[in-house]
Amino acid sequence: MKCPSCGDLDNKVIDSRLTKENDMIRRRRECLACQYRFTTYERIEESLPMVVKKDGQRVDFDREKIRQSIKIACQKLAVTAEDQEALVERVVRHALSLGDKEISSSQLGEQVMEGLRTLDKVAYVRFASVYRQFRDPEEFNRELERLRRGEEEKNR
């Protein structure tokens, strides 16, 4: 592992532990040349499916795109970075669990929306308004009404 401070390749592992989700190993390292300490994360390389977009185009699965979409939806809301990352991991695990070589972008979008619905209603509506491409306030109101009905049914 290359030291981010001096670029030397010689370092030692000081501490290793699993992350909270038990899907990565967090390693604290120390450079033997400059004694700079840094953290690395190690995860199993997964064979993620190709994403089939609405126009039929096939693109590589991009975990970072999902992370950014969730981050934007949760901006200035009381949703922790840990909760956001956990949602990213749930979406990725769902895609892997299907066992298919391809997954539609709409399936991924629905998974993100479902996760945001449980995390924060405002984040859910923000994401849904972009994802479903609301064209007028009436579409927005219909989605809010669906959300309200779902809450009412849950409280019965």
Alpha carbon separation from 58 to 55, 64, 156 (Å, rounded): 9, 17, 43
- Measured CA to CA, the distance from residue 95 to residue 30 in angstroms comes to 36
Please indicate, yes or no, if residue 2 is contained in any of the structural domains.
no
Alpha carbon separation from 148 to 77, 90, 106, 122 (Å, rounded): 19, 25, 23, 12
The answer to whether residues 39 and 56 belong to one domain is no
Q: Given the structure tokens 């300490």, which residue do they identify? A: 37
The answer to whether residues 142 and 76 belong to one domain is yes
Let me know: does 76 contact 126? Beta carbons within 8 Å: no
Domain membership of residue 66 as a residue range: 50-155
pLDDT by residue, tens only, the chain of 156 residues? 899 999 999 999 999 998 877 778 999 999 999 999 999 988 777 788 999 998 999 999 999 999 999 999 999 999 999 999 999 989 998 999 998 999 999 999 999 999 999 999 899 888 988 877 777 778 777 777 877 787 666 656
Q: What's the pTM value of the predicted model, to 2 decimals?
A: 0.66
Classify strands 50-52 and 102-104 as parallel, antiparallel or unpaired: parallel
The answer to whether residues 18 and 81 belong to one domain is no
